[in-house]
């Protein structure tokens, strides 16, 4: 028998600290698999956010920066301008990217910075204990919307990938999910396309990855992937919102 599946080379052996069933671990692995397959481990520089994934620098065998909350796209800009031939990617949650970091993501995208953004959307603030996120669904409970998000009070969830896809500097923008193996494999394809858009110097690339947070949603991991499929996908549709021009032709 030969091994057909094992830990990718770009992942370290360190046990990840995420909650049982949290799909951060899946997404970390997909990124590592893509980096292995594109053979870019020795020239990739990653940026860890503030959020549950703050320790991401422990899980990838890559040069990494830990960035201030929301600022990863600006940090990525600094790195990529210094090392234009390296591959630079950020890994950010919904608070990091869509709340405090909204200006940085919009302008890195608008400038067409040739970096790749992995945007993990689990509709809640994980690390800080389950508060409202910009992506929390109407009616969804969080510790700061204990009665369920009321659109009259707290507005509506933001659709970042759609918003960013209208910018000319964006070459690849897609939304995927990791709630079951079939979607995980599709997510990996999108992540690979995003890194390729950078390598081919097409422009800014972003993959929004719908993800679960069993702990702060207050349900089991199996219930959580079902909740994602039933509630998140209707509001955050999956698909490619922008692809590099050659592909489109």
Partner 1 sequence: MGKVLMKGNEALAEAAIIGGCKFFFGYPITPQNEIPEYMAKRLPEVGGTFVQAESEVSAINMVYGAAGAGARVMTSSSSPGISLKQEGISYIAGAELPCVIVNMVRGGPGLGNIAPAQSDYFQATKGGGHGDYRVIVFGPASVQELVDITMEAFEIADRYRNPVMILGDGILGQMMEPVEFKTTEIRSAPEKPWATTGARGRQRNIINSLYIIPEDLEQFCQKLQDKYEAVAKREKRYESYFADDAEIIFAAYGSTARICKAVVDQARQEGIKAGLIRPISLWPFPDEPFRRAGEYAKAFLAVEMSTGQMVEDVRLAVNGHKPVYFYGRTGGMIPAKSQLYEEMKKILEGGNQ
Partner 2 sequence: MAKGRAIILENRCKGCELCTTACPQGLITMSKQLNALGYHPAVVTDQSKCKGCALCAVMCPDVAIEVEKEEN
End-to-end alpha carbon distance in the chain: 43
61 sits near partner 1 (criterion: CB under 8 A): yes
Judged by beta carbon distances under 5 to 8 A according to partner kind, the member of partner 2, partner 1, none in contact with residue 29 is partner 2
What is the closest distance, in whole angstroms, from the C-beta atom of residue 222 to partner 1 in the complex? 31
Retrieve residue 186's tokens: 């599709």
What is the closest distance, in whole angstroms, from the C-beta atom of residue 232 to partner 1 in the complex? 30
35 sits near partner 2 (criterion: CB under 8 A): no
Of the candidate spans 23-31, 82-90, 189-197, 236-244, the one that interacts with partner 1 by CB under 8 A turns out to be 82-90
Judged by beta carbon distances under 5 to 8 A according to partner kind, the member of partner 1, partner 2, none in contact with residue 67 is partner 1
192 sits near partner 2 (criterion: CB under 8 A): no
Of the candidate spans 75-83, 142-150, 168-176, 192-200, the one that interacts with partner 1 by CB under 8 A turns out to be 75-83
On whether the CB atoms of residues 58 and 12 are closer than 8 A, the answer is yes
Residues ≥6 apart with Cβ < 8 Å to 45: 62, 63, 64, 65, 79, 83, 86, 87, 88, 89
Instruction: Count other C-beta atoms under 10 Å from residue 9's C-beta.
Output: 12
236 sits near partner 2 (criterion: CB under 8 A): no
On whether the CB atoms of residues 42 and 62 are closer than 8 A, the answer is no
Retrieve residue 114's tokens: 């040739």
Of the candidate spans 118-126, 132-140, 198-206, 220-228, the one that interacts with partner 2 by CB under 8 A turns out to be 220-228
Judged by beta carbon distances under 5 to 8 A according to partner kind, the member of partner 1, partner 2, none in contact with residue 205 is none
Three-state DSSP at 19 gives coil
On whether the CB atoms of residues 219 and 227 are closer than 8 A, the answer is yes
Residues ≥6 apart with Cβ < 8 Å to 177: 183, 187, 209, 210, 211, 228, 229, 232, 233, 238
On whether the CB atoms of residues 79 and 114 are closer than 8 A, the answer is no
Residues 1-60 that bind partner 1 (CB under 8 A): 41-45, 47, 54-55, 57
Cα(156)–Cα(51) distance, rounded to whole angstroms?
A: 22
64 or 98, CB closer to partner 1? 64
9 sits near partner 2 (criterion: CB under 8 A): no
222 sits near partner 2 (criterion: CB under 8 A): yes
Judged by beta carbon distances under 5 to 8 A according to partner kind, the member of partner 2, partner 1, none in contact with residue 189 is none
Q: Which of 237, 195, 213 is nearest to 25 (CA)?
A: 213
Which residues make up the interface to partner 2 (CB under 8 A)?
A: 1-7, 11, 15-16, 18-26, 29, 180-181, 184-185, 214, 220-222, 225
Which residues make up the interface to partner 1 (CB under 8 A)?
A: 41-45, 47, 54-55, 57, 61-68, 71, 74-79, 81-83, 86, 103-104, 106-107, 111
């Amino acid at each position: 028998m030969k091994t057909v599946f094992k830990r990718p080379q770009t992942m370290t052996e360190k046990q990840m600290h995420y909650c049982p069933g949290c799909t951060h671990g899946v997404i970390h692995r997909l990124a590592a698999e893509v980096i292995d397959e594109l053979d870019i481990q020795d020239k990739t520089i990653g940026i860890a956010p503030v959020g549950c994934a703050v320790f991401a620098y422990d899980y990838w065998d890559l040069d990494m920066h830990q960035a201030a909350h929301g600022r990863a796209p600006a940090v990525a800009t600094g790195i990529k301008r210094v090392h234009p031939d390296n591959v630079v990617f950020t890994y950010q949650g919904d608070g990091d990217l869509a709340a405090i970091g909204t200006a940085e993501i919009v302008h890195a995208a608008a400038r067409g910075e040739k970096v790749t953004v992995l945007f993990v959307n689990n509709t809640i603030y994980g690390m800080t204990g389950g508060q409202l996120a910009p992506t929390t669904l109407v009616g969804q409970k969080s510790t700061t919307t204990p009665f369920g998000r009321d659109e009259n009070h707290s507005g509506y969830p933001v659709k970042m990938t759609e918003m960013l896809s209208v910018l000319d500097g964006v070459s690849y923008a897609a939304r995927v999910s990791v709630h079951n193996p079939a979607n995980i494999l599709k997510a990996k394809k999108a992540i690979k396309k995003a890194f390729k858009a950078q390598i081919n110097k097409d422009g800014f690339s972003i993959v929004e990855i719908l993800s679960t947070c069993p702990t702060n949603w207050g349900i089991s991991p199996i219930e959580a992937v079902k909740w994602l499929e039933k509630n998140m996908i209707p509001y955050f549709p999956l698909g490619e919102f922008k692809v590099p021009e050659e592909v489109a032709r």
